[in-house]
Structure 1
């Protein structure tokens, strides 16, 4: 074992990083992660009707996900931070969107590494699709799942 090695490190935001000194496996324990609901209420399951878009990631439901970080087009062009009013200007082969219920939040990156918000980008997006941002925030802050 290396002298001065500590298998436990507590970050500024309270995240605890544990490193197995034998295997090198690293595990993070993020504050509050265990407080989320693990299972929503049981709901009646109905078959999906033809033409129904049941996947939250379907193109027809693109405004039910957080704003895209990037999209790749058929010619391998990558567009970053596409604004809401530009979503239909191109058809992506692949979309990269943030996780609505991320494990490592912005607060982690801010408290531990000083990451700052890109206020200009946020203001540009809010100016084009405030309702989209509002619906994502409402979904993220719900205290229970609706079986979806």
Structure 2
């Protein structure tokens, strides 16, 4: 079992702050840590599952410029094809394993990418490219 960093890059003019998390597979969640404009931070570490397990969790962020709440989602499923999922979207209290990111950002506001490391495997980077419009 490895512990992978969850990294958020903030390319907006607003500061983001880590405000919470949900799930049992996270460690070192950086509560109250600011992610400055044009900056980035490790917001938590995700503990990958052992054989034939599926782990999933959320980290919550607040945009201090708009007071909007966001979430990042990560899932590593070793039951089905050893797949990893990572999504960035609006906070949604109804998020579940079956619907990890039910309120995604518009496509031009955010993206996720995976960086491969020979020591720890592939880990997600969540990139907020512009401030999303208010959720309708």
Q: How would you bin the TM-score normalised by the shorter chain?
A: under 0.3
Query: TM-score when scaled to structure 2?
Result: 0.22
Query: TM-score when scaled to structure 1?
Result: 0.21
Larger strand proportion of the pair:
2
Higher-Rg member (1/2): 1
